[in-house]
Amino acid sequence: MEKDMHYGDDYKYIPTTSIGSGVGIEVLPDLYSFTVQIVNVILVGNKDDFVLVDAGMPGSADDIIAAVESHLGPNSRPKAIILTHGHFDHVGAIIDLVKQWEIPVYAHEAELPFLTGKMSYPEPDPTVEGGMVAKMSPMFPNEPINLGDHVQTLPQDGSVPHMPGFRWIHTPGHSPGHVSLFRDEDRALIAGDAFVTVKQDSLYKVLTQELEVTGPPRYLTTDWKAAKESVIKLEALKPTVAVTGHGLPLSGELLANTLGKLVREFDTIAVPDYGKYVNKDLQ
């Protein structure tokens, strides 16, 4: 029941943003990325048949609804919300959006404990090598939200509801049930936080959105071996365009070169030198 849905007790507005906040980018005719403070939400499809991928920062429901209606017209409503994972900056407005639109949510089965009130994610690591955002991470919401029966498991056959042509790919590391979404026809990739295009632990680079292809945000990544394997898996798909959870979309030769470099130098580029979740035995 709707009344059973609730955010964690620690959910609150996070006062951090970037120069890209409020900016939308039409990546492809049916792929639109919109930045809410420091994270991207994505619209896939057209006015009459589209989904929302991820659900932004706490307190951002009105901004997301406004972005959807600005891009696709008044009263536009997605068929579903697909979650790459359940960290606070990807589900921050989800209960408000589910109530507004009366639509289902889909996520990988390994994320369901964090989305049904059963389990908190591991604590963010402020000791990890990185910048000011990493140091700020203890203030980030960590308790599970509860979507009740509004959240469903992604189909076992790899298909993505209401996203014809796309398949979900399990890309754990940043979270146990993290998924990326890939369309074979044009090799379009929605990577979530499997890799990102801004150094998310640096406050300066988050604010300026300085382009830098790197691994998942360090302060919330708990399995670096799995994270490395996930990036290798995605690079092998040879995506032509990629939209990530943080930072600007990339395409073409720049994407191929930077993602290839990330795979070759993952231990140096992505893995922090220290931190409580760092596994030094990555080979």
Domains of the chain, each with CATH number or no CATH: 2-269 (3.60.15.10)
pLDDT for position 126: 87
CA 71, CA 230: separation in Å to the nearest integer? 32
Predicted pLDDT at 206: 54
Cα–Cα dist 115/187, whole Å: 29
Structure tokens of 206?
């988050």
User: How confident is the model over 171-191, as a mean pLDDT?
Assistant: 98
pLDDT at 33 over 50: yes
Q: Tokens 């498991």 identify what position? A: 153
pLDDT digits (tens, 9 = 90+) for 94-137: 999 999 999 999 999 999 999 999 999 999 998 888 777 778 88
Quote the pLDDT of residue 12: 93
Q: How far apart are CA 67 and CA 70, in angstroms?
A: 5
| pLDDT at 229 (0 to 100) | 98
Neighbours of 13 (CB within 10 A): 11
Residue 1's pLDDT is: 40
Per residue in 155-180, is it b (16+ CB within 10 Å) or e — as a string? Answer: eeeeebbbbeebbbbbbbbbbbbbbb
pLDDT at res. 283:
44
- Determine the average pLDDT of the residues in 240-253: 96
In this prediction, residues 38-64 reach a mean pLDDT of 96
Residue 2's pLDDT band (cuts 50, 70, 90): very low
Amino acid, res. 159: S
Q: Which residues of 44-53 are buried (b: 16+ CB within 10 A; e: fewer)?
A: bbeeeebbbb
pTM of the model: 0.94
CA dihedral sign of residues 67, 72, 75, 81: negative
Share of the chain above pLDDT 90, in %: 80
Helix (H) or strand (E) holding 230: helix 224-235
